[in-house]
Amino acid sequence: MTCGAELLYELAFTGTLSYLNQAQIIEWPEMTTADVLRLAGCSQPDPRDTGKSMPPIDETTAKKFLEFSGGHPGILDTCFELYSQNPGFTRADLIEKLALSSFLWQLLVPLCQDREKKEKIGSWLKSNEIGLYQPYLEDPLLKELYWKNLLQKDKRGKRLMWRSEALRLAVLRIMNPA
Contact 131, 153 (CB under 8 A): no
In this predicted structure, what is the pLDDT of residue 43? Answer: 57
Q: Report which DSSP code applies to 76.
A: H
- pLDDT attached to residue 70: 92
Q: What pTM was computed for the model?
A: 0.77
Given this model, what pLDDT does residue 107 score?
Answer: 84
Per-residue pLDDT at 13: 60
Question: Domain 102-175: which topology?
Answer: Arc Repressor Mutant, subunit A (1.10.10)
Q: Are 95 and 173 in contact (CB under 8 A)?
A: yes
Residue 166's nearest CA partner among 72, 80, 86 is 72
pLDDT in single tens digits along all 178 residues of the chain: 344 466 666 666 666 656 656 666 677 788 999 999 999 887 555 555 555 677 888 999 999 999 999 999 989 988 998 898 888 888 899 888 888 888 888 888 888 888 899 999 999 999 999 989 888 888 999 988 998 899 999 888 899 999 999 999 988 888 877 6
Query: At 19, which amino acid appears?
Result: Y
Cα separation, 166 vs 158, in Å, equals 22
Return the pLDDT at 101: 85
Q: What is the DSSP string of 2-52?
A: -TT-HHHHHHTTS-SS-GGGTPPP-PPPPP-HHHHHHHHHH----TTTTSP
